[in-house]
Amino acid sequence: MTEDFDFFQDQADPGTIEVHLRACDADFDPPLSQRVDLSVYAARLVERAVRLEAWSDGRLVGLVAAYANAEPGGSAFITNVSVLPSHRGRGLARRLVTTGLAHLQALGFRRVELEVGRGGAAAIALYRKLGFQENGVGKTGIMMARNEQDIPRDYDAETVDTGDRLYAYGFDFDVMHPFMIRSFRPFFRPGALLELGSFKGDFTRRLVEDFDDITCVEASGEAIAEAKAKLGDRADFIHGVFESVTLPRRYDNVVLTHVLEHLDDPVATLKRINEEWLAEGGRLFLVCPNANAPSRQIAVKMGLISHNSAVTSAEAQHGHRCTYALDTLERDAKAAGLRVVLRSGIFFKALANFQWDRLLQTDIITPEYLEGCYQLGHQYPDLCSSIFLLCESGDGD
């Protein structure tokens, strides 16, 4: 039976952490209580460590804690990984460490170190799978380290839903996709279309209503398999990454929706679009989630994220590298030599995606209300769910 866990950052108090550590004490090698005063250690974790916590029925069942007080760009040290004996064997430790690593990456740390007991063969095997390598001997065990630049991205894993965030929501499919197409359609050029980052083909299914010559490039092989099952031969799929993929021709339309924020070097990809893939007179339809959406600004005021353009740990786990606003998106488009011919927004949005998914199941939200949010988005693009640039080839002038 699969159990649902609630994941939180830095919620547990010292007493709760101490109770948790005492329950896990014997599983450390040597036992944690032989090395530290658990009460003092728990208080230190609350004061100094970045913590990712798993809760079940109001009980702290899993904990990853890392000292990350150095300047971002430096290294962080994972000081604790623990799961209650009653909750082992369910992959919880892996989920905690994976999400914790994504959170540290989002904070800017590019090297993560830890120490594991010499007898911890299972733990060592797990850390190896997560990209750690042995790099010496510590006081009580083997030192291991992971450098982000040495870890190849797992694009299939990035599409998997996390404990507290879906990769895509019903709001995306049922509200944003139709309004994106509606925003694009007046500017489509006759001819061929290239969709970069087609995921599982849900947006592609809408594009085939306007185009019979579609090429899709997608980094996740699993996503391509699902897209092909939905679309058959109505689109050509290429499994590859934008940095190295070779395309056979140029295209009259290039669509890049909710993808640029995932790229390690977004300007380089925009340059390839400008210089290699856009046909003469062709257009790029560029859409990204908006850092200044009211839903994100509200989350900042609630203390859920640190600032509007922050990349949360769940977003980092899904491959996000940045969060764009209109000015930074236009900056990167111009840096790639593209000419921005239209700046707009898609759908005024003050609620989070999961809140929209719940509301859309009720009669509270009417088609007229959705239309009003779409129209208001044209008036206030900087307060939209997504920001939209229409670009053509140029030299950046």
Pair (256, 366) in one structural domain:
yes
Sign of CA dihedral 67, 72, 75, 81: positive
| Domain that residue 262 falls in | 170-392
Pair (277, 349) in one structural domain:
yes
The enclosing domain of 20 has a CATH number of: 3.40.630.30
Pair (334, 229) in one structural domain:
yes
Residue at 104 is within a domain: yes
Count the domains in the chain: 2
Pair (256, 377) in one structural domain:
yes
Residue at 160 is within a domain: no
Domain boundary among 151, 181, 201: 151
Residue at 165 is within a domain: no
The helix/strand/coil state of 53 is strand
Pair (93, 190) in one structural domain:
no
Of 215, 286, 300, 212, nearest to 249 by C-alpha is: 215
Residue at 53 is within a domain: yes
Pair (107, 238) in one structural domain:
no
pLDDT of residue 304: 83
Pair (116, 224) in one structural domain:
no
pLDDT of residue 160: 65
Pair (135, 202) in one structural domain:
no
Reported as half-sphere exposure (CB side, CA atoms, 13 A), residue 389 has a value of 26
Q: What is the pLDDT along the chain (397 residues), one digit of tens a residue?
A: 345 678 888 889 999 999 999 999 988 878 899 989 999 999 999 999 989 899 988 999 999 999 986 565 578 899 999 999 999 888 888 888 888 887 787 777 888 999 988 777 888 888 888 888 888 887 778 899 988 766 566 666 676 666 556 667 788 889 999 999 999 999 999 999 999 999 999 999 999 999 999 999 999 998 999 999 999 999 999 999 998 999 999 999 999 999 999 998 999 999 999 999 999 999 999 999 999 999 999 999 998 888 999 887 777 777 888 899 999 999 999 999 999 999 999 999 998 888 998 999 999 999 999 999 999 999 999 999 999 999 999 874 4
Pair (129, 195) in one structural domain:
no
Pair (73, 200) in one structural domain:
no
The enclosing domain of 286 has a CATH number of: 3.40.50.150
Residue at 164 is within a domain: no
Residue at 159 is within a domain: no
Pair (280, 220) in one structural domain:
yes
Q: In which order are the strands placed within the sheet that holds 133-137?
A: 6-9, 49-56, 59-67, 75-83, 111-117, 141-147, 133-137
Residue at 200 is within a domain: yes
- Cross-strand partners of 78: 66, 114
Pair (147, 216) in one structural domain:
no
pTM: 0.69
